[in-house]
Amino acid sequence: MDMPALPLTRDLVLIGGGHAHALVLRMWGMKPLPGVRLTVINPLPTAAYSGMLPGHVAGHYPRAALQLDLVRLARHAGARLILGRAEGIDRARRQVIVPGRAPVAYDIASIDTGITGEMPQIPGFAEHVTPAKPLDAFADAWEVFATTAAPGARIAVVGGGVAGVELALAFKHRRPDAAVTVYEAGPEALALLGPGARGRLRAHCARLGVRIEENARVTEARAGALLLEGGRVEPADFILGTGATRPADWLPQTGLALHEGFVTVSPFLQSSDPAIFAAGDIAHLAHAPRPKAGVYAVREAPVLFENLRAAAMGRPGALRLYHPQRDYLKLISTGDKRAVADKWRLPLDGKWLWRWKDRIDRRFMEKVHDLPAMPAPALPPEIAEGVAEALGPKPLCGGCGAKMGRAALADVLAAQPRAIRGDVLSEPGDDAAVLAHGDVRQVFTTDHMRAFIEDPWLFARLAAIHALGDIWAMGGAPQAALAQVTLPRMTEELAARTLAEILDAAGTVFRAAGADLVGGHTSLGAELSLGFSVTGLAAAPVGIDGARPGDALILTKPLGTGVILAAEMLKAAPGDVVAGALAAMDRPLAADAAILAPLAHAMTDVTGFGLAGHLINLCEASGTAAEIELSAVPLLPGAEALAAQGHHSSLLPQNIAALAGRIFAPESPRAELLYDPQTAGGLLAALPADQAATAISALAAQGIQAVRIGRITEGEPFLNVL
């Protein structure tokens, strides 16, 4: 007998996507701890690796080469990734505060948020100086400048430490025409290096034309200039600040013991609160203070991983000690694929050091990029005929990719009896039931889906938006909703936390739509799934049966959620592509419907059967055909590339088979996306051609990038893709 799925009993929350946490996620995927629900909170789906930043600035690495993909790492670890910025910890309630969503509960937490550039209290600094940290924002600003600045641009680096000089050399290599100057307030730049390494770096600056000014204290930053002590004005088209750094400004409110704003940790990487750990630049090693350097974060990761596991198991005696090395090898690039080394004040110099540094950096990135595939559970030795075929070659998708195929569903529904009540105006198979109440029409729909992301809060938002789609597609005003929630097996406390997140997220969506979430039903099962039954009111519901030849077809969201979510399950979708898909799904359709419903002859939302399937449904109901311009159909960034790589939703083959003989389309990855099942997709409206431009302009005024993709034509129900 198979062992039943073990219940979840502890919430472990990683705050920040720094180097140590990235490695913890990798190790967790290799050795998960049953019973722990792992969460990572970070503002972006990726985090920049600091070791390769100077090489990227110099033009040696593309941006993608230095990005830690937290989406892939989270999927590998079985963790939920919350794309948000933590701004507080309520230790009494054991909650992490993330603006814009419900608090995230924890039993054990770890902080690895990195540090940001400290903007000195100098007039104009915040407005006119780009700090070197956070790295992503700096890299974005530099790329714009490096590719657009006029020849002879002037670059100023404020701060003559190792970071400032290394980046100045990288600037000069990328833009040899630029005048690059480093301004150091003290008497000596590179003061923390040994004299040999310091001399060699200064020699490289002289060789490449990077000027260093010492005793050059900046007193004001202006648009296009720096003002130095003594009144001298130095022109500057790009100003980089590499001085002091600072931790997050919300840490003092946590009540944790801090040292100069950084979280004080014990040799176990434990803060003054035993339930909270910290690592990387944000941590102050009280027992062995060290400078802020990525090498310590990398070496802390295995100890942090073991200690988080021990804390989750309730074994404080199993915590490991972290012993930082006394010194570390500093490999400082010089922009032109050379490097200078400094350790124990013994300098080394040359191209071979760059190659060594490059190998070290690439090895680290390979470790977090090349995630080992965890083997799927083996089938029993004896199984019924057809089991392997029914499982298929890929995991079952969530969301609308997990629904029953169009053809099989249509066959079953065709056998159902017609309505027996006169006030039921719809037939089996319609997206929503239409009920008559005097002169008012009530629209009634239901939707249910298995989770496709690990975050219950975001999943609930998307499920609510998806369920409301049928109401909006019929031009209805949402009225009330009931929830059906199936939670995976977990303790009563974790179940209450999860349900609170779900109701908070869904309730926010329904209230914004003008509806009340009035109740529902909960149960425990094998996995998280969620559904909503929703009612709405419509004076004259917009159906799918009113399209007329000549009508324009307008689509209000790009396609591609199915293929992106399917690839994400296999750790194959880039993090920013997944984040883009989630953001598209997270946009409700209320404004779309308010503009289109008064004009539309027919309208539907694009969901599980894909654009092609839902358009054929509309044509069948209206007795028309349709044609669309494939090049006009909007796609989510990355969707076509993933389709070209062979990724697709588990529902895609049924969607294609269901339309055999009903569609003419070229064979291409882009055409394949016409069948892609959408979750929380857009509206597809057929409206008079002479009103299409006005509707698109009105939608654009609301920030909705709707597109005219084709038209309704005469003939038997058929879709011609041009």
* Every domain range in the chain assigned CATH 3.90.650.10: 544-722
pLDDT of residue 580: 96
In tens, the pLDDT along 24-44 reads: 999 999 999 999 999 999 999
679: tokens are 């979750």
Residue 288: DSSP 8-state: S
DSSP string, 458-509: HHHHHHHHHHHHHHHHTT-EEEEEEEEEEEESB-HHHHHHHHHHHHHHHHHH
Q: Distance between CA 604 and CA 589 in Å, rounded?
A: 12
Give the residue carrying structure tokens 């029914």.
390
Higher pLDDT among residues 367 and 253, named by residue: 253
Q: Are 426 and 445 in contact (CB under 8 A)?
A: no
CATH number of this structure's domain 430-541: 3.30.1330.10
Angle CA(369)–CA(374)–CA(379) in degrees, nearest 5?
Answer: 155
Identify the CA nearest to 622 among candidates 705, 551, 571. Answer: 551
619 carries an active-site annotation: no
| All CATH 3.30.1330.10 domain ranges in the chain, comma separated | 430-541
State the burial class of residue 584 (Cβ atoms within 10 Å of its Cβ: 0-12, 13-18, 19+): buried
Q: Which homologous superfamily does the CATH classification assign to the domain defined by 544-722?
A: PurM-like C-terminal domain (3.90.650.10)
**Residue 270: DSSP 8-state:** B
Task: Tell me the percentage of the chain whose pLDDT exceeds 70.
Answer: 90
**Residue carrying structure tokens 């239409």:** 434
Q: Cis (ω within 30 of 0) for the bond into 134?
A: yes
Pair 561, 679: CB distance under 8 Å? yes
pLDDT exceeds cutoff 50 at 2? no
Q: How far apart are CA 496 and CA 293, in angstroms?
A: 40
Please tell me the predicted confidence (pLDDT) of residue 634.
97
- Residue 560 pLDDT grade (very low, low, confident, very high; cuts 50, 70, 90): very high
Look at residue 1 in the predicted model and tell me its pLDDT. Answer: 39
Catalytic site residue from 205, 397, 400, 619: 400
Q: Is 627 helix (H, G, I), strand (E, B) or coil?
A: strand
Class of domain 10-115+247-325: alpha beta
The count of residues in the chain is 722
Contact 605, 469 (CB under 8 A): yes
The counts of H helices and E strands in the chain are: 21, 38
Alpha helices per DSSP H over 245-319: 294-312
Tens-place pLDDT, residues 284-330 = 998 877 776 667 788 999 999 999 999 999 999 999 999 887 767 78
From-to residues of CATH 3.50.50.60 in the chain: 10-115+247-325, 125-245
Average pLDDT of the residues in 435-450: 84
Instruction: Give the residue-averaged pLDDT of 194-201.
Output: 90
DSSP per-residue string spanning 405-458: PHHHHHHHHHTSPPP-STTB---TT-SSEEEEETTEEEEEEEEEEE-SSS-HHH
The fold for domain 125-245 equals FAD/NAD(P)-binding domain (3.50.50)
| Mean pLDDT within 393-420 | 56
pLDDT digit string, tens, across residues 54-75: 999 999 999 988 889 999 999 9
**What pLDDT digit, counting tens, does each position of 609-633 carry?**
999 999 999 999 999 999 999 999 9
| Rounded distance between C-alpha atoms, residue 16 and residue 1, angstroms | 40
